[in-house]
Structure 1
Amino acid sequence: MTQSKHDSRMPLLYGVYLLRSLTKQNSFYIGSTPNPYRRLRQHNGELSQGGAWRTKKKGYRPWRMVIYVHGFPSNISALQFEHAWQHAYRTRHIPVEKRRHNGKKNTGSGTTVHEKVANCRLLLGSGSFSRLGLKVTIFNRDIYDVWLTNKFQIDIPDYILLEIRVDDAIDQRLIEGGNYEQVKSFMSDIQKMEEQYTDESIETLKQQQEQHLCCICEMPLDVESDVICFCFHKECTAIYHCACWSKLIMLENPTQEMAPVLPIRGKCCQCGKVNFWNMVVRNAQTVKERCRKKDYLFTA
């Protein structure tokens, strides 16, 4: 799941996480990783390499991962979000009058869970991150309650997707080592979804083997050189140039037309259902790579 130095593809699961100590409920840690399961094991000392000095302090382990923000187009944007969340007291991504902290450097992300969640919400709604198509996964009921309470009344865009993966059985007992199975299951589900989407896209190409035409501009599609978008929704066989879909989204949303940024989401030109830009483009890049490797079989 890691991204090489020269790999231009969007990372599958590079995200920013919030840990909470199971023994000291008011102690938290913010970090970033493409592999939350392995990273949690490092923080809890199960893996000798990695971890962080703050999470190694006596009496704080085990740690539980309670929030994971993902969908970043690159590891750089994830690291920027991580730094901004850690340093909410001074980050340029949150206006001074909106920051939730007491003004002290050593409490830069807020001293309470309400403040930490509030600063996360502020970043999700900021100009720098709101258009990235980010998703928020919450693994703990208490944190979900804090999110819903929204003590400081901070709104976030309706296109920020929220996934709740609460396990009451886990919440009712102290887990030695943290919520490993929750995080591992989450990672597995993300990977399966992405692989299924790509497989279905390849199958769409097979079914249209005689010719591949963009359903927007009706011009030929080159499966090995063009960035081709596929509808995410099952049983829809729409395929189109990425650039054509981008222009169509902008035309259907005039307020975004002059914005010097990429779209967030748009309707499929065939079935009319909403697709998210970053998910579609990441899949398009994967399909393109597989086609270049001839990782598909067109039958006669």
Structure 2
Amino acid sequence: MVQEVEDFYGVYLLLCLNPKFKGRTYIGYTVNPNRRIKQHNTGTHAGGAYRTSGRGPWEMVLIVHGFPNDVSGLRFEWAWQHPDKSRRLRGVPGKSRKESAFQHRWRVVCNMLRTAPWCGLGLSVRWLKQEYKLDFPDGLEPPLHMPVVYGPVLSKKVTKSQKGTSRIAPSQVSLDDANVQTEMESSVCAVCHMPVMAEDTVLSCLRPSCPMKAHITCLAKHFLEDETRLLPIEGKCPDCCVTLLWGELIRQLKGCYKNLSESDMQPEKDSTRRDLMPSVPESDESS
């Protein structure tokens, strides 16, 4: 089964299977991993990279996804490609003689996941090909809010209509604009208890049965009550007390998770993370 991910931004690691170039790796950024690996294996005329053209076949074995936008993903890509030039990774030792290029790339990304600003993002580490899976080095395990998942992934675009209703709870989508504005203005922020206006940026609980709405700044401060971070990682819903990841709330604001049910609010299948997160429906489409 293929896991669907909405609003996909990912940075991947390729491994060369060609005996002539055995062990070579390539790091890249994509919003569509299935299309991208086909481009790499077809050549530059199909949009593949110069460094991978004519050296295939390549296998996309690992991808880190969940970046909030393409700028964030591209910066992660550059740092992973150039750890010796990134000021955030100056303390990471270079490749040793005993390490393969693949092992070195893995050790670098393990360090990155524990380094600011990436350690505060709602990222997922996905082994697309489990037979290549490596263990995390001692002391370099990712933060608990980052799941390690397995299997293929299918990127799913968020439609303009979904984005347009991102400030409104799913139960309100069918209402006309006038009723929506009335409903929004009759709501109260769960944190500051002030009225929620239609023009306000509002976050809602991911649980469909929870009526919680809060101004984005109010909820951020609520999540950061006992922290010194600029941006929150997670916190408890002020109404139902379920654990919510900040990154997932922002994804919901951008139009994701519009069809969640109560049964979807569970730890993701085949995930090592213990936190609560929505389980996105699976697709039968193959890569």
Instruction: With the length of structure 2 as denominator, give the TM-score of the two structures.
Output: 0.72
Code of the aligned partner of 1:84? A
- Which residue identity is paired with 1:83? W
Distance in 2 of aligned mates of 1:204 and 1:164: 35
Residues 29, 162 of structure 1: alpha-carbon distance in 2 compared, 3 angstrom cutoff: same
2:206 to 193, 208, 232: 232
Between Structure 1 and Structure 2, how many residues are aligned? Answer: 238
Asked if 1:279 corresponds to 2:248, the answer is: yes
Q: How far does residue 217 in structure 1 lie from its aligned partner after superposition?
A: 2.0
Q: Which letter does structure 1 place at the counterpart of 2:171?
A: E
Tell me by how many angstroms 1:41 deviates. 1.6
Higher fraction of strand = 2
Which of 54, 75, 90 is the equivalent residue of 2:70?
Answer: 75
State the distance in 2 between where 1:143 and 1:221 align: 49
Matches within 5 A, 1:115-264: 115-144=104-133, 146=134, 149-151=135-137, 153-165=139-151, 182-183=152-153, 186-188=154-156, 201-204=169-172, 210=183, 211-223=186-198, 225-251=199-225, 254=226, 256=227, 258-259=228-229, 261-264=230-233
Is the Cα–Cα contact under 8 Å of residues 89 and 101 in structure 1 kept in the other structure?
no
- Distance in 2, matches of 1:92 and 1:199, equals 37
* Percent identity of paired positions between Structure 1 and Structure 2: 29
Q: Report which of the two has the higher share of helix.
A: 1
Q: Deviation at 1:19? A: 1.2
Structure 2: segments with no counterpart, 5+ residues: 1-5, 257-287
* Cα pair 1:93 1:128 within 8 Å, conserved: no
- Give CA-to-partner distance per residue, 1:202-231, whole Å, 9 cap, x none: 3157598642222222222123x2111011
Q: Distance in 2 between matches of 1:229 and 1:132?
A: 18
The TM-score normalised by the length of structure 1 is 0.69
Q: Structure 1 residues 47, 271: closer, same or farther in 2, change over 3 A?
A: farther
1:229 partner amino acid: L
- 8 Å contact kept, 1:66–1:143: yes
Give the deviation of 1:151 after TM superposition.
4.0
Structure 1: gaps spanning 5 or more residues: 1-10, 104-109, 166-181, 288-300
8 Å contact kept, 2:220–2:232: yes
Q: For residues 198 and 227 of structure 1, do their structure 2 counterparts lie closer, same or farther at Cα, with a shift above 3 Å needed?
A: closer
More divergent stretch after superposition (203-212 vs 28-37): 203-212
Going from structure 1 to structure 2, the CA distance change for 1:152 and 1:142 (only over 3 Å counts) comes to farther
Deviation at 1:239, TM superposition (A): 1.3
Q: Secondary structure at the match of 2:46?
A: coil
Separation of aligned partners in 2, 1:143 and 1:72: 23
RMSD (Å) for aligned C-alpha atoms? 3.1
The runs of at least 4 aligned residues of structure 1 exceeding 3 Å deviation read: 22-25, 46-49, 195-200, 204-210
Amino acid at match of 1:271: C
Deviation at residue 27 of structure 1 after TM alignment:
2.0
Change in 2 beyond 3 A, CA 1:47/1:202 = farther
Question: Whose relative contact order is higher, 1 or 2, with alpha carbons under 8 Å and at least 6 apart?
Answer: 2
What CA distance in whole angstroms lies between the structure 2 residues aligned with 1:33 and 1:13?
8
Counterpart amino acid of residue 83 in structure 2: A
1:238-271 deviations in Å (ceiling 9; x for gaps)? 11111111111112xx2x1x33x21111111111
Q: Is the 8 A contact 2:203 2:216 kept in 1?
A: yes
Is contact 2:11–2:29 with CA below 8 Å preserved after alignment? yes
CA contact 1:88–1:101 (8 Å) conserved in 2: no
Residue type matched to 1:150 in 2? Answer: F
Q: Identify the residue that residue 30 of structure 2 maps to in structure 1.
A: 33
Q: Name the residue aligned to 1:65.
A: 60
